[in-house]
Every structure is written in structure tokens, then in C-alpha cells.
Amino acid sequence: IHPNIAQTYDYGIVDSQLYAAMEFVDGANLKQYMDRLKKRNFVFPVEITSHIISQVCQALHYAHTFTDKLTGKSLNIIHRDISPHNIMLTYDGAIKVIDFGI
């Protein structure tokens, strides 16, 4: 559980189909924002870009260094597909990394 990672509540297999029950992130992904800005010949200001990057880095650091609280063993969580498609910007200003996979 981290404020910059979309929460996964449950996952499993039902009738041979994988499922994941996740937090609803009310916003749009970074690629969508970048595409809209490009159409208008704008870019994110440096301050906003820096904020987004710092929040994503905090999320990735948390995930990549996460350990089992009882054993201290690393869980070896690696995102493997960090891209603008997998970074959500909520309409109220939060930054959330999505799609770690199962």
C-alpha cells in the first residue's frame, strides 16, 4: 500500500480467467495528457514534470525495495513496463503507477 501505487484488492482465477480487483483511479494516463498538450503546442511546465517524476520514483522505489514484514525477505517486485500509459494523473492531483501485472 503506497499513495502513488494503485491498490490491488484481490486477484485470482475464476472459470479459467484471470481477474484483478483494483482501486478505481479517477483520471487519465500521462500519455493522454501529453497527447492533448502536444495538439495545442504545449508541454508540462518543469515544476509539474518534476513533481510527476518524483512521485513515480517514490512509487517504484517502494515497490522495488518492498520486503515481507515478518521474514524481511525481498519480494522482488519489478514493474517492467513503466511508461506514460501506466502513470495515472487523477483529477484531484494524485499521481498513481498502475499495471504491475500479476
Q: Which residues are catalytic?
A: 81
Q: Count CB atoms within 10 A of the CB of residue 7.
A: 13
User: CA 53 to CA 57: how far, in whole Å?
Assistant: 6
CA 48 to chain centre: 17
